[in-house]
Structure 1
């Protein structure tokens, strides 16, 4: 079964940048776009108005059989528990691998469309963030030392699948392209397609903006803090932001402060 077509919100003016954002479990691309664009910055403007040159791409996941709920729901992979992310985590592997491959294909197409990888940002909410974490690992594993890095990573209210194994592996094996390739093989199985093993190549780091509510009722803020720590060990410069009082029982971006931080992050990395 193929993935649905992404929802695309075109730029208001000349297209200079692209932002690709992944939704959470039980949602879909257009719904995330509507929720995101309904919120405003302190200037009382939504994100498309504030960033008029951005093409917004919202992929939608397949429907997967969810083992915990015993039904098919829109999700990027089968996550049995969000309170204990290691419980039956072997169920995550198949969906993760398929979703990673799909998002890497979208990235390649949008980089070609805008003409510069540095003008493309990747992000996700909740389970969407979880997929993005492993897309980043694959991206770093394919580094040759010459590839232009993405503009950055924007994630919130999520977690890093196989976090403990990833942190232990990086601590012992190091954060270079070859190490990331071995990590993928060890945790998910297989290799990075089309990439030959590299020796001691340090990938170009990707700036990360990570937001998480301390009162998040669905994904513990401790999982966000853990993700931030792992990304830093991977060589990523991380902007970590905690807050309270966001909508959806804390499982969202605090308005307007969180949206101000998103805009500042994007503009500090080349977006107008």
Structure 2
């Protein structure tokens, strides 16, 4: 394990949720943290609560702004040794009801934002032959779900992009890790039930995948950074990874039948809370 004490790590989407929890966990590990978010008011609140002085509003879809953020972080805290590309959005709903502008925004933030952050970090890390890129994907990048088609695509792209970058830079000294959370109790998942249970007789069930707290994802990020190694897939919770790998051993028709038997095929379209999703979408569109 590598000590994170004194290392400089930049985080996007850090005003709330997983990004905020990751910043707090890294600070507790002794790292120096630079945080960013597109929501300036929430970012300032987060910086005050965390005691962070290095923070900046950032639209991750703007490559020049991303480079400027890392320049600022290095001028304040020293050379970047890690980046957590966490910023993301998750609108839900039927594919034909999705506006083209919203689909574009999902892809730009969730995929292009990861690409911009990875490139900006590598430009600084590669000459030093040191650094770790952690990209936040999702189990939904491996498990197609009705009602999340564009989000599925954006996270699948982030996963394969990180894999390709890791292979391209495998002799550079740079490490790459991809974190795949399932359902997490954050604003992004407000009104969405991503838990999965096995039905039993008499109306009972056994939960096999539960929602987790953002702190659990944050701990996984810190462990990855401290390991000094690349990690292709870090599923949080691990049970989701086991479920996905098990399903991958089955023929596609059987795998999809299993998902239907568990109710996964209708979770988003039929089980979401419309009022909570509407509030989340309004916030996404306002920033």
TM-score by length of 1: 0.43
Answer with 1 or 2: which has the greater Rg: 2
Instruction: Provide the TM-score with structure 2 as the length reference.
Output: 0.41
| Structure 1 or 2: more helix by fraction | 2
